[in-house]
Structure 1
């Protein structure tokens, strides 16, 4: 069993358990337990444990505890969940056979898995992350293959506020983030998620993709629209909140050579 398979836990209980564990570490400054992974062994001390902000719209105390290497606090090895330290890669695993394909993110542990994928793994550089933290209620789907989470996408829903300090709301559903782990790329999974997004909103005449389109996302859109002509007048690159002056037809932009393309 892995964290995502264990009984549901509330955010308040998770936060409380983390704070209790942190207090225990502070009280035991001169003694340490150890965390072992396949590659390394690290002492669990107050100096090696940091608070990690889980959601974009949370107060600072809504955090996880992350165990990092002594010389680099950006390299998180484990998270404190369900009263134990779990390797970040185990947070992305499941023993539930029914958890396969694209699954709507609902539980807190599934939200934690999104956090691991977007904030902790596969950084382009040590001081960079792929995405900003996501709001706790943002629509998201996780892609599961072979018992592990291999990607996800998130959606800004029509009618939701554009930001914590904004009075404007999105005027159409917008595909905000798409992520596939490196070893699972070039297998059509980006196409799968874009197609799932389009089919999830059958009653919307127009759908958005957040600007700017990365070269890899532009390549996914091109391949998708080449095979789905019915979506060419429906899919737009948009700035929030997605008014008419903030929409650019993606297929037209591809034909005019407005996008750099990357097949990764």
Structure 2
């Protein structure tokens, strides 16, 4: 990117744009020949372009491919850069993590992870990554007990359009008859998607697990039972809250929780 283009960005955005070099050890899984670079404002974190393999590209151009549509595996270096932009740039710039909703920042996938990108009319709008069965957790040297969906993301402008359910269906479609996992913590939004999927597909209720670590014995819970238990707790708490509000509105003293029928 030449000096004139950088000055134009600074004029339009009102930011002091600088080149930020990403440490290569953080992007080894991308398979890039050169270190990834970002053109970004160090003060506000706004990023406008990335440089991969000696070529600067605007973020919009990175996320555009007129020939792609649907959930596709990320197999090329260009695909891996797409995932990087979605998970490490756009998400961090525009999303606010809600701890109570079990939302967290995304780690970059390990080299052995499977990465899938959702393309909609030539635009990359989401992704999910999978820890494959028997792959090694580098932190513990343990092997994953089953294929485990580790991270997932859909851009805010495309949520509530059925893409979450389509993602789960795409993930399990090639794993019929096998056990599959979903890494904890599972966000509240993802729990809602999984609950809807299991309501519509009861055959999967004994094969889908909430996984901690690598999902070995003692580190997994049957997802349908976990979701059902959480739903019952939420319903119980909602009933208690409604009951307390009603008693307060009627001017009667509150009863202790032990006086309520189950």
Q: TM-score range by the shorter chain?
A: 0.7 to 0.9
Structure 1: runs of 5+ lacking an equivalent: 1-20, 22-30
The reply on whether 1:231 has 2:201 as its aligned counterpart is: no
Q: Could you give the per-residue CA deviations for residues 237-259 of structure 1, whole angstroms, max 9, x where no partner exists? A: 01122112111111111211268
SS in structure 2 opposite 1:89?
helix
Kindly state the Cα deviation for residue 114 of structure 1 after the two structures are TM-superposed.
Answer: 0.4
The reply on whether 1:51 has 2:50 as its aligned counterpart is: no
Alignment partner of 2:159 out of 185, 197, 200: 185
Q: Is the 8 A contact 1:232 1:250 kept in 2?
A: yes
Kindly state the Cα deviation for residue 129 of structure 1 after the two structures are TM-superposed.
Answer: 7.3
Alignment partner of 1:76 out of 31, 43, 47: 47
Q: Is the 8 A contact 1:218 1:260 kept in 2?
A: no
CA distance in 1, matches of 2:4, 2:104: 29
RMSD (Å) for aligned C-alpha atoms: 3.0
Label 1:33 to 1:43 Cα distance change in 2 as closer, same or farther (>3 A): farther
Label 1:220 to 1:129 Cα distance change in 2 as closer, same or farther (>3 A): closer
Kindly state the Cα deviation for residue 171 of structure 1 after the two structures are TM-superposed.
Answer: 1.0
CA distance in 1, matches of 2:112, 2:34: 14
Give the alignment of 1:196-211 within 5 angstroms.
196-204=170-178, 206-211=179-184
The reply on whether 1:64 has 2:33 as its aligned counterpart is: no
The reply on whether 1:95 has 2:66 as its aligned counterpart is: yes
The reply on whether 1:250 has 2:219 as its aligned counterpart is: no
Label 1:91 to 1:156 Cα distance change in 2 as closer, same or farther (>3 A): same
1:222 alignment counterpart: 195
CA distance in 2, matches of 1:129, 1:51: 24
Which segments of structure 1 move beyond 4 Å, counting only runs of 4 or more? Answer: 36-39, 41-44, 53-57, 258-261
2:116 alignment counterpart: 141
CA distance in 1, matches of 2:151, 2:215: 16
Q: How many equivalent residue pairs? A: 222
Structure 2: runs of 5+ lacking an equivalent: 98-102, 236-262
Q: Could you give the per-residue CA deviations for residues 20-78 of structure 1, whole angstroms, max 9, x where no partner exists? A: x9xxxxxxxxx93423569548777xxx111124775739x963010012633x22110
Q: Is the 8 A contact 2:26 2:108 kept in 1?
A: yes
Label 1:185 to 1:92 Cα distance change in 2 as closer, same or farther (>3 A): same
CA distance in 2, matches of 1:40, 1:56: 28
CA distance in 2, matches of 1:189, 1:141: 13
| Structure of greater relative contact order (alpha carbons < 8 Å, 6+ residues apart) | 1
SS in structure 1 opposite 2:91?
coil
Alignment partner of 1:150 out of 125, 136, 159: 125
Structure with greater helix share of residues? 2
